[in-house]
Amino acid sequence: MTERSFKYLDERLGTASLARTALRKVFPDHWSFLLGEIALFSLVVLIFTGVFLTFFYTPSVQEVIYDGPYEPLRGAHVTAAYDSVMRISFEVRAGLLMRQTHHWAALVFVAAIVIHLCRVFFTGAFRRPREVNWLVGVLLLFLALGEGFTGYSLPDDLLSGIGLRIFYAVTLAIPVIGTWATYLLFGGEFPAPDIISRLFVFHVMLLPALLIALVGVHIAILVLQKHTQFPGHGRTERNVVGKRLWPEQTFKSLSLLLFTTAVLALLGGLAQINPVWQYGPFEPFNVTSPAQPDWYIGFLDGALRLGPPWDLTLFGFTISEVFWPAVLFPGIAFGILTLWPWIERRFTKDRAEHHLLDRPRDTPVRTGIGAAGLMVFFIMFLEGGNDIFGVLLNVPVETITRILQWGLVVAPIVTFLVTYWICKGLSRSRLRPAQINAGVRLSRTADGGYETVSLEPASSDGERAPAATGPHGE
């Protein structure tokens, strides 16, 4: 029956040849190529745990009286959204495990995308013909950030409410369309009654659908195009050296899926995250301190704290101080990130196809720019916790902010120069075996004599290959 079914499909769709081609596809055997798979498997965990949480979550700001088992809040007036999150945490069987696993998976998902994007950037994997897949990857990062923020806001606790208030101010700071955009998103002035239900629709329907569709496009382009690989013995621009999809790569990916799921489940069960019962329900007149967002939004919080207090009025429109760090800076930074393949091509005039990756040390300018960019985001991330550092170090918050403002100017320049110097040094040092004189090797011949075998300089992964032979010592 099964054989007849496959034969029926093969005669009409040619499935046998398609499956044969797909199963023979070769994947490079390098650990860094698994970063994208970690992001994919985290998304799988997010979908399964998210579906479970959707069964019990109530996306409403209607006021109810909490009467659950958490004694400190019993009798308190809370929203239905917050009440349902408390019930998921304390009354639904395995609810807290699912909620914390979902939150940890979101953090790992965004982290895996960021690290994967850095690997693509520093190795030049975005170059022709993979510019479209670079755009898809950047879009996936945007959607992951949006998905994370909308999910972070749904519990309607005090911490997420503060984040929503900041987001309201940032949206309002957009010139010309700010007021209209805030009304469209929030449904009125903050705190608006419709915001939770609208975020819920974004979080469980629109953004996941776009994410899944773009992941499909990302993988389809990967299958259609030749996979990139690091240079080494036997690896050229015309081939791919590695493991076939079946069976080696398939079992490796399945093992990684199980490992990722196990780690996230362990984190969800053993490592507490986002204890909404400690923060309490959101009240617009309350602020908790120190309040910290999830790590991937920390740079925006820090940018707001570092930004200059500049208010400007042009043509009757007021540009508030929130605009410069929270709208202009991310717009420029992510604009450069999106257009980087074309920016680099304009300066390098390199229009050739590339299937072999660069070693970061061999492209010191690109590596230095990337390191400097990461330093900018790192300083902003540090500034997002200036109140915590002030308490821990017993230093005024204003002092920490002043130091980091100077650091924001100086540190990226120093980072670029140091990175450039290190890359140039590595290129000239013995750590780059491609420039080492490989020498010769003596080899015994079949008639009892000897011959020398000249060795080519080693490839960048340390492998050597014989290049030429000649008689010697007969």
pLDDT digits (tens, 9 = 90+) for 20-71: 777 788 888 889 999 999 999 999 999 999 999 999 999 999 999 999 999 9
Contacts of 341 (CB under 8 A, 6+ apart): 126, 127, 128, 131, 134
pLDDT digits (tens, 9 = 90+) for 390-446: 889 999 999 999 999 999 999 999 999 999 999 999 888 755 555 555 566 777 777
pLDDT digits (tens, 9 = 90+) for 350-387: 999 999 999 999 999 999 999 999 999 999 999 999 88
* Widest pairwise Cα distance in the chain: 99
pLDDT digits (tens, 9 = 90+) for 100-155: 999 999 999 999 999 999 999 999 999 999 999 999 999 999 999 999 999 999 99
Please give the pLDDT value at position 76: 95
For residue 360, give the amino acid letter. P
Mean pLDDT value across the chain? 89
* pLDDT for 463 beyond 50: no
pLDDT category at 456 given cuts 50, 70, 90 is low
198, two tokens: 């609208």
To which residue do tokens 């080519």 refer?
456
pLDDT digits (tens, 9 = 90+) for 347-356: 999 999 999 9
Cα angle value 322/328/332 (rounded, 5°): 155
pLDDT category at 471 given cuts 50, 70, 90 is very low
CB 139 within 8 A of CB 231: no
Please give the pLDDT value at position 466: 42
pLDDT digits (tens, 9 = 90+) for 219-252: 999 888 878 999 888 888 888 888 888 888 999 9
- What's the CA gap between 382 and 388, in Å, rounded? 10
- Which three-class secondary structure state does DSSP give residue 77? strand
To which residue do tokens 């009125």 refer?
188
Please give the pLDDT value at position 191: 83
Please give the pLDDT value at position 286: 81
Length of the chain: 474
Cβ of 110: how many Cβ atoms within 10 Å? Answer: 21
pLDDT category at 205 given cuts 50, 70, 90 is very high
375, two tokens: 């330093």
Q: Which residue has the higher pLDDT, 58 or 470?
A: 58
pLDDT category at 455 given cuts 50, 70, 90 is low
Q: State mean pLDDT over 199-209.
A: 96
Please give the pLDDT value at position 27: 87
* pLDDT for 256 beyond 90: yes
Q: State mean pLDDT over 293-310.
A: 91
CB 83 within 8 A of CB 58: yes
